[in-house]
Structure 1
Amino acid sequence: MQLNPSFKGIAMNSLLAIDICMSKRLGVCAHSTSSWGSVRSMIKLLALTGHGIPWIFGTILCLTRSNTLAGQEVLVNLLLALLLDVMTIAGMQKLVKRKGPWEMAPSFLDYLAMDIYSFPAAHASRAVMVSKFLLAHLVLAVPLRILLVLWAVLVGMSRVLLGRHHLTDVGCGFAFGFLHYSLVEMVWLSSNTCQTLISIGTFNWSPLY
């Protein structure tokens, strides 16, 4: 038995209205004059830890300083995962073009990472993908593993608190993060392939004399 199209439309619009209402209520750090405006700087700093640009450049920096084949293999695949995440989320945002609950203008760093629209939440996707990746490929003590998962959740929620994303944007961002991690694990680049890519990259960036 199929639902009446009009009923499905009403149900969808109701859910979207609830999402917008709750997201606006949770945007307690959207402005310096908001109810939690005094901690806005701290929340913005937390959100920055999930931004794509620091992660990409940080991974490249670690790659240039790594002197083990195993470390380079992990870092190259992490870089691949980060680039996949940025490009996929940017494409989805461009396709959907959903604005945030407070319709705030993107920052300069957001423009660099093509994180312009609200759906899905790029920071949430990246935080989940990175945390899953590190949990799978680093040997971490239990407290650190718990902190890593907590960090991913808090990064996603920080974007809601700042009024940049709806709750559904963050939820879908988390789902995309799991998907990106799974895809990279499926197409994992071998050590030999990583060394070839590093050699090509080193050649391209070598100074000309």
Structure 2
Amino acid sequence: DGLSGDGARSRAMGAGARQVSGAPAHSDATRTSPSCQLLCNVHQTGQSWHSQPPLEDCMRLNPSFAGIALRSLLAVDLWASKRLGVCAAEGSAWGGARPLMKVVEVSGHGLPWLLGTAYGLCQSDSAATREVLLNLLFALLLDLVLVAVVKGLVKRRRPTHNKMDMFVTISVDKYSFPSGHATRAALVCRFVLHHLVLAVPLRVLVVLWALIVGISRVMLGRHNVTDVLFGLFLGYALYSVVEYCWLSPLSAPALFALWSS
């Protein structure tokens, strides 16, 4: 028994010596994955990594970084949207300006723009004017479809402080992302500035109108800040699509013949 005890102690001391002289021991929770260790070796030796295993193991070392960043962004977005919703109700900080903000809301709504463009198209007797109005109508319809699709896919609810008294809503209008008003304002702004000859003060007013429409969506509590920012970006980019698909008597003769008759 004494010999066996001495042997056990000798083996334990030998194992401890090997641990001290070798690499430090790691627990299962902190052990570096083989792929990450191999990536470190590659980095240190300067070898090529094209033949090495994939890097998913390295990404798993910190799997929540992207989630934490996204949650932080959303938290800031919700906080800022709540603070800026000063016209969300009559009792809000700027509740007295709510009627004016609702007038701005109507000015950026799709229905007045669609009806006004269609009426102008029917009353116009100029081929050039009809071409511009027909493409504006196409842009407005494309905007409605695109915004509805994105809202249906994202399904982000409107801010909790929003008062559901919006002007002429449809089913997807219960969703918040992106802001259709902001998208339409940016789209119409670029369209008008590009195709109408306006004096500088009027051009400035058009840009201010687009910005005010976007800001009013947050002030009324209709949207979060990111809804409006993405909406403005989407509308700005959508105009490029309209320009690329521009309808003319050469590209769509049947359509122009219909409106000319």
CA apart distance, 1:4: 2.6
Partner of 2:213: 155
Q: Gapped runs of 5+ residues in structure 2?
A: 1-57
Partner SS, residue 174 of structure 2: coil
User: Is 1:111 the equivalent of 2:170?
Assistant: yes
* Letter in structure 2 aligned against 1:188: W
User: Is 1:31 the equivalent of 2:31?
Assistant: no
* Letter in structure 2 aligned against 1:183: V
What is the Cα-based RMSD across aligned positions, in Å?
2.0
CA apart distance, 1:104: 4.0
Structure 1's 106 and 198: CA in aligned 2 closer, same or farther, altered over 3 A? farther
Contact 1:120 1:170 in 2 (8 A): yes
Contact 1:122 1:173 in 2 (8 A): yes
| Structural mapping, 1:122-141, within 5 Å | 122-141=180-199
Looking at structure 2, the residues matched to 201 and 190 of structure 1 have their Cα atoms a distance apart, in angstroms, of: 12
Q: Normalised by the size of structure 1, how large is the TM-score?
A: 0.90
Looking at structure 2, the residues matched to 53 and 100 of structure 1 have their Cα atoms a distance apart, in angstroms, of: 21
Partner of 2:43: none
Looking at structure 1, the residues matched to 196 and 260 of structure 2 have their Cα atoms a distance apart, in angstroms, of: 26
* Letter in structure 2 aligned against 1:151: W
Aligned residues: 202
Q: Normalised by the size of structure 2, how large is the TM-score?
A: 0.72
Deviates more, 1:192-201 or 1:60-69: 192-201
Q: Gapped runs of 5+ residues in structure 1?
A: 204-209
Looking at structure 1, the residues matched to 110 and 252 of structure 2 have their Cα atoms a distance apart, in angstroms, of: 21
Match of 1:57 among 111, 115, 131: 115
Looking at structure 2, the residues matched to 86 and 120 of structure 1 have their Cα atoms a distance apart, in angstroms, of: 11
Greater C-alpha radius of gyration = 2
Looking at structure 1, the residues matched to 250 and 174 of structure 2 have their Cα atoms a distance apart, in angstroms, of: 37
Partner of 1:43: 101
Match of 2:130 among 63, 68, 72: 72
Deviates more, 1:98-107 or 1:166-175: 98-107
Partner of 1:174: 232
